[in-house]
Amino acid sequence: MKKPLRVLIVEDSEDDAKLLIRELSRGGYDVTAKRVETGDDLRAALGAGGWDVILSDYSLPHFSGEAALRTAQESGQDLPFIFVSGTMGEDIAVGAMKAGAHDYVMKNNLARLVPAIERELRDAIERQQHREAETQMRMSEHKYRHLFRFMSDAALLISADSDRIIDANEQAEILFRRTREQLLGATSAELYPRNPHLQLPDRAGEAGSHVSGESEALVPRAGGAPVPVHVCVSRVELYDRPFTLALFRDISERKRTEAALRNVLRHARTIVADAVVTAPEDWRPDKGKPPASLGWEWHFADAEAAQQVLPLEVPPGREYREFWDAAEHPDDRKASFAKISQCLVSGARSWQQEFRALDRGGRVHYFVQAATLEPLGPRSWQAMTINTDITDRVLVEEALRTSEERLATIFNLSPTGICIVRASDDHFVEANRAFLSGTGFVREEVIGRTPADLKLWSEITDRAEILRECREKGAAVAFRLMGRKKNGEIGVGLSSVAKIVLNGQDHYLWMIQDITELDRAEDARRESERRFRQVAENIDEVFWLTDASTGQKFYVSPAYARIWGRSCEAVYADPLSWLEAVCKEDRERVRDALSAQVGGTYDVEYRIVRPDGSVRCIHERAFPVKDSEGKTYRIAGVASDITQRRELEEQFRQAQKMEAVGQLAGGIAHDFNNLLTVIQLQSSLLVQRLKEDRESEQGMQQIMDAAKRASNLTRQLLTFSRRQTQTARTVDLGEVIGSMTKMLRRILGEDIMLESRFAPGLPPVYADPGMMEQVLMNLVVNARDAMPSGGRLTISIDSMMLDAEYVLAHPPAKEGRYVCLEVTDTGCGIPPEIRTRIFEPFFTTKEVGKGTGLGLATVFGIVNQHRGWLELDSEVGKGTTFRIFLPALSQAAAEAAMGEETPAIRGGTESILLVEDESLVRALASAALRERGYRVYEADNAVHALEKWGSIQDKVDLLLTDLIMPGGVSGKDLADELMRRSPSLRIIYTTGHSTSAVGQQLDLKSGINYLEKPYSFSDLAVIVRRRLDEAPHPVAR
- Going by pLDDT thresholds of 50, 70 and 90, the confidence category of residue 723 is very low
Least confident of 445-454, 626-635, 694-703, 924-933: 694-703
pLDDT above 60 for 711: no
CATH level 3 topology of 414-514: Beta-Lactamase (3.30.450)
CB atoms within 10 A of CB 125: 10
Q: Domain 539-694: which CATH class?
A: alpha beta
Least confident of 559-568, 653-662, 722-731: 653-662
pLDDT above 90 for 554: no
Q: Which residues pair with 961 in a beta bridge?
A: 915, 989
Q: What is the mean pLDDT of residues 757-776?
A: 88
Query: Torsions phi, psi of 833, nearest 5?
Result: -70, -15
Least confident of 208-222, 235-249, 541-555, 628-642: 208-222
Amino acid at the residue 9: I
Among the CATH numbers 1.10.620.20, 3.40.50.620, 3.40.1030.10, 3.30.450.20, which is that of 270-395? 3.30.450.20
pLDDT digits (tens, 9 = 90+) for 472-528: 777 667 777 788 888 888 888 888 888 888 888 989 888 888 887 887 887 888 887
- Going by pLDDT thresholds of 50, 70 and 90, the confidence category of residue 848 is low
Least confident of 4-8, 417-421, 743-747, 853-857: 853-857
pLDDT at 365 (0 to 100) = 94
- Tell me the C-alpha distance between 111 and 725, whole Å: 59
Instruction: Please say whether the beta carbons of 880 and 829 come within 8 A.
Output: yes
Q: For the chain, how big is the Rg over CA atoms in Å?
A: 48
Does the fold of domain 903-1029 match that of domain 3-131? Answer: yes
- Going by pLDDT thresholds of 50, 70 and 90, the confidence category of residue 258 is low
By CB atoms closer than 10 A (0-12, 13-18, 19+), residue 271 is buried
pLDDT at 710 (0 to 100) = 52
Q: What is the mean pLDDT of residues 900-909?
A: 66
Q: 725-756: buried (b, 16+ CB within 10 Å) or exposed (e) per residue?
A: eeebebbbbbebbeebeeebeeebeeebeeee
The CATH number assigned to the domain with range 729-900 reads: 3.30.565.10
CB atoms within 10 A of CB 223: 5
- Tell me the C-alpha distance between 697 and 701, whole Å: 6
- Going by pLDDT thresholds of 50, 70 and 90, the confidence category of residue 188 is confident
Instruction: Please say whether the beta carbons of 255 and 228 come within 8 A.
Output: yes
Q: What is the 3-state secondary structure (H, E, C) of 90-134?
A: HHHHHHHHHHCCCEEEEHHHHHHHHHHHHHHHHHHHHHHHHHHHH
Q: Which of 1035, 1004, 1007 is nearest to 1020 (CA)?
A: 1007
CA 395 to chain CA centroid, Å, is: 37
pLDDT digits (tens, 9 = 90+) for 608-658: 999 988 889 999 998 888 888 888 888 888 999 988 777 666 545 443 444
- DSSP state at residue 269: T
- Going by pLDDT thresholds of 50, 70 and 90, the confidence category of residue 376 is confident
pLDDT at 995 (0 to 100) = 56
Give the Å distances, CA to CA, from 817 to 801, 859, 882, 1001. Answer: 4, 21, 19, 56
Long-range Cβ contacts of 1021-1026 (<8 Å, 24+ apart): 1021/905, 1021/907, 1021/928, 1021/929, 1021/932, 1022/905, 1023/988, 1024/908, 1024/912, 1024/929, 1024/932, 1024/934, 1024/958, 1024/960, 1024/988, 1025/905, 1025/906, 1025/907, 1025/908
pLDDT at 1000 (0 to 100) = 59
Q: Which of 543, 483, 548 is nearest to 516 (CA)?
A: 483
Least confident of 304-318, 695-709, 932-946: 695-709
pLDDT above 90 for 888: yes
Q: What percentage of the chain carries pLDDT values higher than 70?
A: 81
pLDDT above 80 for 899: no
Q: What is the DSSP string of 338-392?
A: HHHHHHHHHT-SEEEEEEEEE-TT--EEEEEEEEEEEEEETTEEEEEEEEEE-HH
Most confident of 211-220, 555-564, 790-799, 987-996: 790-799
CB atoms within 10 A of CB 340: 22
pLDDT above 90 for 427: yes
- Tell me the C-alpha distance between 556 and 536, whole Å: 9
pLDDT at 146 (0 to 100) = 44
Q: What is the mean pLDDT of residues 805-820?
A: 88
pLDDT above 60 for 131: yes
By CB atoms closer than 10 A (0-12, 13-18, 19+), residue 539 is buried
What's the length of the chain? 1037
pLDDT at 948 (0 to 100) = 93
By CB atoms closer than 10 A (0-12, 13-18, 19+), residue 320 is buried
pLDDT above 70 for 205: no
Q: What is the mean pLDDT of residues 928-954?
A: 92
More confident of the two residues 909 and 154: 909
Q: What is the mean pLDDT of the chain?
A: 80
Instruction: Please say whether the beta carbons of 34 and 45 come within 8 A.
Output: yes
Question: In a 3-state reduction of DSSP, which class is residue 334?
Answer: helix
- Going by pLDDT thresholds of 50, 70 and 90, the confidence category of residue 878 is very high
- Tell me the C-alpha distance between 626 and 691, whole Å: 10
Among the CATH numbers 3.40.50.150, 3.40.50.2300, 3.60.15.10, 3.10.20.340, which is that of 903-1029? 3.40.50.2300
Give the Å distances, CA to CA, from 593 to 599, 623, 646, 952. Answer: 11, 12, 22, 44
> 182: which residues sit within 8 A by CB, 6+ positions away?
none
Among the CATH numbers 1.10.150.120, 3.40.50.2300, 3.10.450.50, 1.10.10.10, which is that of 3-131? 3.40.50.2300
- Going by pLDDT thresholds of 50, 70 and 90, the confidence category of residue 725 is very low
More confident of the two residues 33 and 218: 33
pLDDT above 60 for 952: yes
> 903: which residues sit within 8 A by CB, 6+ positions away?
none
- Beta strands 428-431 and 542-547 are unpaired
Question: In a 3-state reduction of DSSP, which class is residue 413?
Answer: helix
By CB atoms closer than 10 A (0-12, 13-18, 19+), residue 298 is buried
- Going by pLDDT thresholds of 50, 70 and 90, the confidence category of residue 716 is very low
Q: Domain 151-250: which CATH class?
A: alpha beta
pLDDT at 801 (0 to 100) = 93
pLDDT above 50 for 440: yes
pLDDT above 50 for 369: yes
pLDDT above 50 for 975: yes
Q: Which of 507, 498, 495, 503 is nearest to 474 (CA)?
A: 498
Least confident of 286-290, 315-319, 421-425, 714-718: 714-718
* Domain boundaries along the sequence of the chain: 3-131, 151-250, 270-395, 414-514, 539-694, 729-900, 903-1029
Least confident of 32-46, 105-119, 717-731: 717-731
Question: In a 3-state reduction of DSSP, which class is residue 277?
Answer: strand
- Going by pLDDT thresholds of 50, 70 and 90, the confidence category of residue 553 is confident
Q: What is the DSSP string of 423-488?
A: TTT--EEEE-HHHHHHHT--HHHHTTS-HHHHT-BS-HHHHHHHHHHHHHH-S-EEEEEEEE-TTS
pLDDT above 60 for 672: no
CA angle 36, 40, 44 (to 5 degrees): 75
pLDDT above 50 for 720: no
Least confident of 70-79, 940-949, 989-998: 989-998
Long-range Cβ contacts of 34-41 (<8 Å, 24+ apart): 34/7, 34/8, 34/9, 35/9, 35/10, 35/11, 36/8, 36/9, 36/10, 37/10, 37/11, 37/12, 37/61, 37/62, 37/63, 38/62, 38/63, 39/63, 39/67, 39/68, 39/71
pLDDT at 902 (0 to 100) = 47
pLDDT above 60 for 344: yes
- DSSP state at residue 164: B
- Tell me the C-alpha distance between 229 and 253, whole Å: 10
Q: What is the mean pLDDT of residues 214-230?
A: 79
Question: In the chain, how many H helices and how many E strands?
Answer: 35, 37
More confident of the two residues 474 and 990: 990
- Tell me the C-alpha distance between 687 and 940, whole Å: 59
Question: In a 3-state reduction of DSSP, which class is residue 842?
Answer: coil
Q: What is the mean pLDDT of residues 847-859?
A: 68
- Going by pLDDT thresholds of 50, 70 and 90, the confidence category of residue 147 is very low
- Going by pLDDT thresholds of 50, 70 and 90, the confidence category of residue 681 is very low
- Tell me the C-alpha distance between 381 and 790, whole Å: 106
- DSSP state at residue 59: B
